[in-house]
Amino acid sequence: MENQNDEARKETSPHDSGDSAQYGTDRSKFPDSGILEAFSRAVSGIVKAISPSVVSLMIHSRPGMNSMELLGAGSGVVIAPDGYILTNSHVVHSADRIEAMFTDGQKMEAKVVGEDQATDIAALRVPASGLPFSVPGNSEGLSVGQIVIAIGNPMGFDSTVSSGVVSALGRALRSQDGRLIENIIQHTAPLNPGNSGGPLLDSRGTVIGINTAIIAMAQGIGFAIPSNTAGWVLSQLLSHGRVRRGYLGIAGRQYPLPRRIVNYHNLAVDSAVEIVSIQPDGPAGRAGLSIGDLIVEIDGKDKSAPVVSGMTA
């Protein structure tokens, strides 16, 4: 009996040199490994190319007349060679002094150009030129399931990287301080607070969002402000020093349109904003709109465009 057990153990032992191939050394057993290796190389290449434009932001406060304390840290992404940086509003909102640290160890003081708490976007600038930068792309074409990469540079350490997929689009979620932030990208690339303000990239290395860790929810869920929203906010901040929004005088909710309605009217969208309340003396009320009406565009712009979504209040 003992000899039989020993013989059985020999036959099934993973250390048997004759069977070693089935335990991972024979790569033909894993035909998809080449795909994973290609994906790994692609992510590494993207991180190498983008990381120099990702900065660490050290936020200092002034508790006394002659002292300065480190209040917190976050990340940002340089979007122009002359020193413009995008980050989160909540990262820099309470700062008396902001220090930007690059991956090569260079440090510069950053000044706030402007911020918009409603979208959690802020623009900074450092006194430099010829900086490595990443131009934000078009986030309009994002789809659920698309691969994304999140990069941060907390406290000046080497870039922290995580990857995942887009899990939802167009979310409206409330932040820890009670503010409602609309049109958010939800993804599965894990974030930590030090990564707030860093870029969210697609599989081609294009910046398609600015990550935000202001919303505390379940682990494994990340959020980002779409690059189109961030770009619109930036243009407003550079032009006016603040975001100027239109006003409709309504409260609305997302309303999915039946396919037959979309086809019949040849609509470019498959959802609308349903009016659930309206101020009679507001612009929408004076124009004749009423509760239950559906809005698909305003002045020729899709109702999901940043300039339009900012008006539905």
- Write down the pLDDT at residue 15: 47
Residue 90 a catalytic site member: yes
Domains of the chain by range and CATH?
1-31 (no CATH), 51-125 (2.40.10.10), 147-240 (2.40.10.10), 250-309 (no CATH)
Q: What does the alpha-carbon distance between residue 33 and residue 24 come to, in Å, rounded to a whole number?
A: 11
Active-site residue flag, 304: no
The string of DSSP codes covering 161-194 is EEEEEEEEEEEEEE-TTS-EEEEEEEE-S---GG
Q: Which pLDDT score is estimated for 192?
A: 78
> Among residues 89, 162, 163, 196, which one is catalytic?
196
Catalytic residue, candidates 75, 120, 304, 309: 120
Can you tell me the distance from the alpha carbon of 114 to that of 243, in angstroms, rounded to the nearest whole number?
A: 9
- 8 A C-beta contact, residue 275 and residue 250: yes
Of 22-26, 146-150, 168-172, where does mean pLDDT reach its minimum? 22-26
Tokens in use for 230? 């961030």
Residue % of the chain over a pLDDT of 70:
78
Label residue 28 by pLDDT band (50, 70, 90). Answer: low
pLDDT by residue (tens digit) across 124-165? 999 999 999 999 999 988 999 999 999 998 665 667 899 999
Place of tokens 């790994």: 40
Q: How far apart are the first and last CA of the chain?
A: 82
**How far apart are alpha carbons 132 and 136 in whole angstroms?**
13
Residue 12 banded pLDDT, cuts 50, 70, 90: very low
- Does this model's pTM top 0.75? My answer is no
Residue 199's pLDDT is 96
User: Which member of 53, 56, 90, 139 is catalytic?
Assistant: 90
Q: Tens of pLDDT along 99-108?
A: 999 988 899 9
Asked if residue 231 has pLDDT above 80, the reply is yes
14 band by pLDDT with thresholds 50, 70 and 90:
very low
196 is catalytic: yes
